[in-house]
Amino acid sequence: MTDKQAILEFKDIHVEVEGKEVVKGVSLAIYPGEIHAIMGKNGSGKSSLSNALMGHPAYTITKGEACLKGQSILEMEADERSRAGLFLAFQYPLAIPGVTVANFMRASLKAHRGADADMSDFRKLFKAAMADLSVDQSFATRYINEGFSGGEKKRIEILQMSMLNPTMALLDETDSGLDIDALKIVSKGINKHQSDTNGVLMVTHYQRLLNYIKPDHVHVMMDGRFVKSGGPELALKLEDSGYEWLNEEKTGV
């Protein structure tokens, strides 16, 4: 137990997509300095949960409560949740033709700071963040994700996270589509961002991401529910034994 206030806490969250319930009552509290990982098979509800918490309009929270730093976020639009300190790195980042990486990052940062914000430090912050993630300076003038490789797209996502410095980062299968070199670079960016004043919730299928980013807590999701929680050792067991043993544990077989 801790006397600290949770950065992100949700209780009995239910989520529907096109009238079908895909998340069936999950609860979690993430405290400052903690990294949590949600693991599970495809279709278990992991990405639906993160998208719903961020406010994606296709994902409807039908029951439960969710608070960021003690403030309910369920009545907030997605942009309001972002300005409040919530960030989502997408599993499949979209291309935005006509919008350069530099202009996108500047607009994002200004939206967070406010219309009258002093942006004189933008160039310095932007260049430093690009260097940390081994993003070539030429990417500044390229259109967001247009013609980017999977690894480049994910690095731009983490670049945005570095610029915005959110209180709570939701990372939806950030390791998807990454080769080992890109995985190491992206993991380095996530680890650099993490501190004792913020939190990270990672959604992943595989242990390999957790080789570079050590979680404090691991939660297994099956059929829209958390069925088991533990420490980093739980991820290792899943890597070795898969998910079937959890079904056997549930049924007593």
Percent of residues, the chain, with pLDDT higher than 90: 77
Quick: pLDDT tens for 59-108: 999 999 999 999 999 999 999 999 999 999 988 889 999 999 999 999 99
pLDDT in tens, 161-192: 999 999 999 999 988 888 899 899 999 999 99
The whole-angstrom separation of Cα 241 and Cα 53 is: 30
Can you count the helices (H) and strands (E) in the chain? 8, 12
Parallel/antiparallel/unpaired status of strands 60-68 and 71-72: antiparallel
Q: Name which residue leads in pLDDT, 1 or 7.
A: 7
**Torsion of Cα atoms, 37 then 40 then 42 then 43, to 10°:** -100
pLDDT of residue 253: 43
What are the chain's domains?
8-92+168-251 (3.40.50.300)
Residue 251 in this model has a pLDDT that exceeds 90: no
The DSSP-derived string for 87-112 is: EEE-SSPPPEEEEEHHHHHHHHHHHH
154: left (phi over 0), alpha (psi -120 to 50) or beta: alpha
Q: What is the pTM of this model?
A: 0.92
